[in-house]
Structure 1
Amino acid sequence: MNFEKKSCKCCNFPLENDFIIKNKIYFFCKNCNSIFLSDEFFLTSENQVNRYLLHNNTLEDINYKNYLEKFINRVLEFVNLEKIDFLDYGSGPNPCLVELIKEKFFNFNKIDGWDLFFTKDFFPKENSYSLITCLEVAEHFENPQESFRHISSLLKKDGFLAIQTQFFECEEDITNTEKKFATWWYKEDTTHVTFYSKEGLISCCKSFGLKFLTQLDKNLVIFTKID
């Protein structure tokens, strides 16, 4: 593989390692330990939409509703805001988290959902939100820096960003890291293209004025906007 001019999509470190798994190429950053699917294997926008439409997430599914409630309750307990201007970033074809908040919570001034594919007529304004959630969405970002730049622009100063994604924990050497990644279930979703280490996500967000605050759960982290 020719690595000339290829750099990490999280920390911009020059890339030197790749994994070839099931005829797909993944790049590994030895600086921040994040992994990226090579662009040539990205689904088309049409195929991504078709894949997302297969998701049958509704609040009528009690297990899914409990999952959402657990997530948002943990986030709200930490941020402890009296009145919230809220955006669910990447809300999908069925904005269940938005619906849940409208149904269950009363300390919100504004409740919005935005999605690249499913909210074509809604354009969230810059510096408008005190809390943005990104629930199992960051792994879909084809250009993480562009996406987190956008998120940061929408967040008010001192506002909070809650991100939940499955972090990949590398082994001590590249060979065992590749073996572990090859058997990792999370990469099997064809719309998952970016796989973060915690360090890689922090590095990426830091570039856009987003400061890491805490890790609430294995895969749930909170940032605040400082710039």
Structure 2
Amino acid sequence: MLDFGSGCGGLTEALRGLGISTTPLEPMIHGFLKDQHYAQPFDAIVGVEVIEHLPDPLGELRELEKVLAPGGVMVFSTLLTNPFIDHPQSRELFSDWWYKDDPTHVGFFSNRTLDTLSRIRNYEIDVFADKLFVIRQKRVETSP
């Protein structure tokens, strides 16, 4: 498993403690994904509270696809803006939302943006509890 945006390594260590082989990747420590060379692809990539920090999330997802094994999954957590999207007072609610005040949060996601992402990159995306989403490449059907 690749712990993408691993920070100080808390999740990496927890997963290793459970016997899960995990490789950390924190740009400030290990360098950037595009500069890494891994011996084999990862069955899973996890990014906990990291995708909202990426100036080019689509480009970064393309890079992650290169190190993801066929049939592998990417799991990300970030607070989604779903509660604000269709609310009549969406602007006021968003302006009071504490999560947007972090200056390192440069992008926000909703079910709508995830739907767009799934169309652009041919993903299947499942969302859980408005803060966790799992990305898989759609299977390409082949004729026998």
- TM (norm. structure 2) is 0.81
**Conserved? CA contact 1:87–1:111, under 8 Å:** yes
- Relative to its length, the structure with more helix (as a share) is 2
Structure 1 match to 2:142: none
Q: Structure 2: which 5+ residue stretches go unaligned?
A: 140-144
Partner of 1:172: 86
1:9-24 paired onto structure 2 within 5 Å: none
User: Following the alignment from structure 1 to structure 2, what is the Cα–Cα distance between the partners of residues 125 and 206?
Assistant: 28
- Deviation of 1:186 after TM superposition, in Å, equals 0.3
1:128-160 C-alpha deviation (Å, 9 max, x unpaired): 010110111111011111111112222111101
1:147 corresponds to which residue? Answer: 60
Within 2, Cα distance between the matches of 1:185 and 1:203? 25
Detail structure 1 runs of 4+ shifted over 6 Å in the superposition. none
Check whether the contact 1:127–1:153 (CA below 8 A) recurs between aligned residues.
no
Asked if 2 retains the 8 angstrom alpha-carbon contact of 1:209 and 1:225, the reply is: yes
Q: Which has the larger radius of gyration?
A: 1
Q: What TM-score comes out, normalization by structure 1 length?
A: 0.54
C-alpha distance in 1 between matches for 2:51 and 2:94:
18
What is the number of equivalent residue pairs in this alignment? 136
* Partner residue, 1:89: 4
- Cα-to-partner distance string for 1:78-136 (whole Å, 9 max, x where unaligned): xxxxxxxx0011111x1111111112x22x3x420112222128714397010110111
RMSD, aligned α-carbons: 2.4
**Would you say the 8 A contact 1:148–1:205 is kept in 2?**
no
- After superposition, the Cα gap between the structure-2 partners of 1:202 and 1:132, relative to the gap in structure 1 and judged at 3 Å, is farther
Distance in 1, matches of 2:121 and 2:40, equals: 13
For the structure 1 residues 150 and 163, does the alpha-carbon distance in structure 2 shift closer, same or farther, using more than 3 Å as the test? same
- 1:128 is the counterpart of 2:41: yes
Given that residues 90 and 113 in structure 1 are in contact (C-alpha distance below 8 angstroms), is that contact kept between their aligned partners in structure 2? yes
Q: Which amino acid aligns with 1:96?
A: G
Tell me, yes or no, if the aligned pair for 1:152 and 1:209 is still in contact at 8 Å.
Answer: no
Question: Equivalent residues in 2 for 1:1-80 (5 A)?
Answer: none
